[in-house]
Amino acid sequence: MNSNVENLPPHVIRLVYKEVSALTADPPEGIKIFPNEEDITDLHATLEGPEGTPFAGGVFKMRLVLGKDFPATPPKGYFLTKIFHPNVGHNGEICVNVLKKDWKAELGIRHILLTIKCLLIHPNPESALNEEAGRLLLEDYSEYASRARLMTEIHAMGSSTGLSHLRVGTGVPGDGESEDVGLGGATNEGGPQPKKHAGENSKRLNNGKKKTEKKRALRRL
């Protein structure tokens, strides 16, 4: 998606930088911000799944895209991590009133992020983008929760999610095309690798087998 920085007035850019800097220094609970220094209109974040929901324990990557008419028009929001939720489309698009009819220019990015977090706690089946998730939420909550939890375990847990992989140079959660950096700061290639204990290898194989079985089960759903 093309940058909209050049289309925004200087005073809007200053306001966005100010709020993003404040969010980075003091983020809402369970949310981390990863500003793109090359394009302030393309904001990435991670959201921890709230406790007491099928998303608990997961870390979900998100993206907010500020258009050329921001703040007169709301940003577009997307989940980059796959999630089974009535208000998240198959392309990751987020449907929430604050990004549509309830948007006001004075509402900030912090308000948007908190609203999306609340959406994980209180889904709105009446404005569902994922009709199957919306139907299950209304008719069979246990099945909905089971599907949502399975998707969370497969896509939002483990070493390939959350903060364990960031795009080098920008501090933005990567999309798989950039070099991956672990939490320790070392790249996945080069340098001596520690020896693995035989028990660790066996455990890894078992975990990999379980994950493959979960993916197969999800395909059958």
Q: What are the residue numbers of the active site?
A: 95
d(C-alpha 149, C-alpha 84), whole Å: 8
> If DSSP codes are grouped into helix, strand and coil, which group holds residue 199?
helix
d(C-alpha 70, C-alpha 65), whole Å: 10
Contact present, 60 and 54 (Cβ < 8 Å): no
Residue 172 pairs with which residues in a beta bridge? 167
Q: What is the DSSP letter of 79?
A: E
Q: Among residues 137, 47, 124, 46, which one has the least CA distance to residue 87?
A: 124
Beta 76-79 vs 166-167: how paired, if at all? unpaired
d(C-alpha 3, C-alpha 60), whole Å: 23
d(C-alpha 99, C-alpha 112), whole Å: 8
User: 34: which residues sit within 8 A by CB, 6+ positions away?
Assistant: 43, 44, 45, 46, 166, 170, 171, 172, 173
